[in-house]
Amino acid sequence: MITLTEQQRVAILVVLLAISVFLTYFFHTVLMLGTVFSHFFYIPIILTALWWEKRSILVALFLGGLVVVGTLGFSPDPLVPNDYARILMFVVVAFVVASLSEQLRGREREVKKQRDLAQRYLDVAGVLFVVIGSDHTIRLINRHGCELLGYREEELLGRDWFATVVPEASREARRQAFDAAIAGGGASRGRQENPVVTRNGDVLILAWQDTIITGDDGRPVGMIGSGSDITDRIRAEEELRAAHGEANLYLDIMVHDINNANAVALGYADLLAEVLEGRERQMVWKLRSGISRSIEIIQNVSTIRRLRSGETTVRPIDLDAVIRAGIAHHPDAAFVYEEKPVWVMADDLLPEVFTNLVSNSVKFGEPGVEIRIRVEEDDGMVEVSVEDTGPGVPDPVKPLLFTRFVRGTNTRSGKGLGLYITRMLVERYGGSIRVEDRVPGHPECGAAFRFTLRRCDQPVTPRS
């Protein structure tokens, strides 16, 4: 649409008025045809009404006066009622068109006001907003979007969105997905991570959301999309994953080497214990105890790392097999366990629960300590109890026993990680753990560790 300047409009009006004056003279003096030419006068009247609204009434009065002057000055015929009606019609047309033009301009100003307000909202938003037409062209984009992409607004409006800002590698796929969404009239496709290319050729990753917009007839006419720049976050996550992988590599090497060294030291300690007597043999046993504690620490660190990293997934586990394997690791201890086949939801770290609880009973129990393991099912849950006849757990210690780095009162207590890890594992499986007196009200008669696991009614047959 061509937009005329104020000077151009004035020039056109002056020309039309000059033509009107010429036609008045020519028709009256040369052709002697009366006022038939005055139909031309509606053109400047209507244009003036559209451009300057009610100022057109002045032009109507001027042209009406021109009819009067032309008739009285050049025509032998006097003014007739039809001439007065024509002059009145000039004024009425000018008034009506000016009123309509004023209403139209008022609506345009209101629409522009609302559009400017919406544009200001979009401009202050910290994300990219863009409206893409069904023909792939950019219909609207906010200031932040222009700054993010490195373009001026006029450089983007009307251009193909996909050809301008979408990387070539994903351009065709994105275009096809857009066309499919428009054709199907679907709702928002949810949050996505879409790359865009800036004017300088840099690739940015946007957290992208879009939705279809429809016309008055309900048919899709385009899509409005918003995207926030998450490039730095994505790169930081990639760097963090790389650093995590490198740290795990170093940790694996360290654990492997320390375990090898501990195994060698433990072997030599056992050899020395066989050949030494008295005080020297007691020192070797202390040395062996320190090595065993080092092995326990390494095992705890490895368990926590696997737990935090999510290397294992919860799945059906044969609880009876896990318990029997845990008992087999302590051939010198006295166990009471009635085998009860049951499957629970856990993962490959479930044996650590029994290792920590059974080791706890063996380590802190008196010579000849007896350990009883019970398994009971109730309402979709399985409760496992590990009871011992050891010295028990004092009441003040019970609430804090599964807290990180909280140690028992026994002189042989460890660093407080074993039971903390046990609680983390049980809670990971959707259960809970507690410690009670084996004989209610008598802590000195031994402890009872009880934890729950979710039962699995459809066990999975292990692969051969």
Compute the mean pLDDT over every residue in the chain, rounded to the nearest whole number: 82
Q: How far is CA 184 from CA 135, 181, 189, in A?
A: 15, 5, 12
The 3-state DSSP class for residue 138 equals strand
Percent of the chain scoring above 90 in pLDDT: 21
Average pLDDT, integer, range 20-39: 72
Q: What is the C-alpha to C-alpha distance for residues 138 and 159, in angstroms, rounded to an integer?
A: 6
Per-residue pLDDT at 2 exceeds 70: no
pLDDT tens, 329-376? 888 888 999 888 899 999 888 988 988 888 888 887 767 889 999 999
Q: Is the pLDDT of residue 112 over 80?
A: no
Tell whether the model's pLDDT for residue 181 goes beyond 70.
yes
Q: In this structure, what are the phi and psi dihedrals at residue 5, rounded to the nearest 5 degrees?
A: -80, 170
- Between 69 and 316, whose confidence is greater? 316
> What pLDDT score was predicted for residue 78?
64
Looking at per-residue pLDDT, the higher value among 359 and 161 belongs to 161
Average pLDDT of 199-212? 90
Residues 138 and 156 sit within 8 Å (Cβ to Cβ): yes
User: Given a cut of 90, is residue 76 above it in pLDDT?
Assistant: no
Averaged pLDDT for residues 23-47:
75
pTM score > 0.75 for this model? Answer: no
Per-residue pLDDT averaged across 321-325, rounded? 91
Give the lowest-confidence range in 79-93, 316-330, 432-446: 79-93
Would you say residue 185 has pLDDT above 70?
A: no
Distance (Å) of CA 274 to CA 199, 278, 285, 363, 444:
78, 11, 11, 22, 35
Q: What is the per-residue pLDDT for 135?
A: 93
pLDDT exceeds cutoff 60 at 459: no
Beta-carbon contacts of residue 79 (< 8 Å; ≥ 6 apart): 68, 71, 72
Q: What is the pLDDT of residue 413?
A: 47
- Secondary structure of residue 77 in the 3-state scheme: coil
The DSSP code for 420 is H
